[in-house]
Structure 1
Amino acid sequence: MTVNYEKLRRRFYLRLDAVFSVEELNKLRFEYLSSKSGLVRGALAALIQQGVEAEQLSMWTGLLKECNLALARRLEFIRERESNEKLTAEAVDVSYPARPFKVGLKHPLVRVIEDTRKILTSLGLEHVDGPEVEDEYHVFDALNTPAHHPSRQMQDSFYLSEVGKLLRTHTSSVQIRAMEEREPPFYIFSLGKVYRNDWDATHTPMFHQVEVLCVDVDINMSHMRYCVGFFLENLFGCAKMRMRPSYFPFTEPSAEIDIRRQDGKWLEVMGCGMVHPNVLQNVGISPDKYRGFAFGAGLERLAVLRYDIHDLRSLYSNDLRWKVS
């Protein structure tokens, strides 16, 4: 029995040294230690049935524990070996050139804002800015907007709890403040956020607006026509535009500007007109001596037209495609 013990033990370790995978290790475990057909467990069960001495049983029980411990150590060795092989295969060559950094693109609205500022600055216009929280005088009264005008109603404007205060509905209020502080002539433009109580495929409660104002002694509509055409040609790459008669309380005469698309359809892009004499009087400028023109547009609208976006609200949808489009 002692010889059989030594042979079995030696054979187990020879087999164990040749095992290099978990699958092979499990087969060896089953062959020697399974409860029904394992060589070690089978021999131990036979000895118990024969009623051998306790010393022999203790020897075979020790072999059973020894085999379990050896299998556990071999499993640890195999896993460590596989891990090292994987690390070696996936090793990073630190001397290899790094991958180029992927830089996202600018949002379509940001592009339009930057291009608008660049185009107007190239015309010699000065950028002016003003507060977004305004009073009714600078938003409506000074711009010749009567008290009964629809834009002054609660459902169209965002009024604050403080009486007479609201979020500006257009950047024209910036131009009023600029005219109050300056002496003509001046050639300026304002660009910033404005707020109106509207939400649909072509409107958002907050949007960006640009307005141009030029006041001098000999300003006329031909000057306005040139500036509008220059702006649109540089922004859209097209020169086909038309002016349609319209109405705004702060300009007289007033017009709407349309551009012609490739499919032949005309699209409205902005409003314009000669500054109303009442507006000039409200800021202390003589309409008998000075005249001016103004034009303005929503930059979100220009962005959706420029990039053929169907829903203006998608500009604010946190769509990651804007960064790579």
Structure 2
Amino acid sequence: MLYQPDNTRYDGQMPYRRVGHSGIELPAISLGLWQNFGGVDVYETGRALLRRAFDRGVTHFDLANCYGPPAGSTEENFGRWMAQDFKPFRDELIVSSKAGWPMWPGPYGGPSGSRKHLIASCEQSLRRMGLDYVDIFYSHRVDPDTPLEETMGALAQLHRQGKALYIGISSYSPELTRKAAKILADERVPLFIHQPNYSMLNRRIENGLLSTLDALGTGCIAFSPLAQGLLTSKYISNTAVEDSRATRGTSLRQSMLSEDNLGRIRALNQIAARRGQTLAQMAIAWALRDPRITSALIGARTVAQLDDSLDAVKRLDFTADELAQIDRYAQDGDVDIWKVSSQIEG
């Protein structure tokens, strides 16, 4: 059946926030396709998730060349979903992709921030997705072996060619962010957005990065606001549920389920309950409490899970007392989120 999106999708259910000093707004919650949309996943489930997100005002879909598994398969699936459902609505969408992690054999396939790798990666991503351009193209990682001038120069080249309307970086330090922005500015290309890891269990960007982005006029989209599922009811019982990320051993380490983490998660869950929210909803709302956060980037495995997360926008306000209570438990702890492998994070 031909997909007809909900006519009420822009009737106020999803707030939009301006990206830095740009003319673009993003939905307060964006959908990331890091997991559950690849070649090993159920195709129609991914399709249903994209449809539901768009029906609820989510206009930003975030991908990367390495998402799958296998790597590249998420972009291939997305290309099919675009052709089947979203082609008439391309101008309503912000589609992003990234490059920098391993993708193909040989010295140019990554991990790399070289001009060769980034340009080739963008071309491959466009072919997989059947697009003429991406709205945002990111340097997915810092490459210490490539001069920053080369990495930013490659992004500026893609921008000039119209293959990337906006340029972003992910997981760069404040110092490197400032240097990247200066190099891009010399190329007359703004640093549009930064995508860092940010959640109640990982607050490191509050120590310099957020103020740096604010000073630069650069947006910030936070990935993993649910700390890879830790900030949900899933793990509160101290037992990792079947087929969770911890039990699958993919992106979340089993050691993350430490008693310290679980104790703090249980306390946060009680605060959320008093607010009339699920823990996931409060975690997303908390990430968005800072106006310097443009959007929270979430994943989803089911439509019900997606709906629960999107309902976070129904209650974004916090009292000073609630924030003080949350601060007792929302701290960096045993949160080595990433289990780095060829299937990439963020």
Instruction: Identify the structure with the greater strand proportion.
Output: 1
- TM-score normalised by L of structure 1: 0.23
Structure whose alpha-carbon radius of gyration is higher: 1
Q: TM-score, normalised by structure 2?
A: 0.22
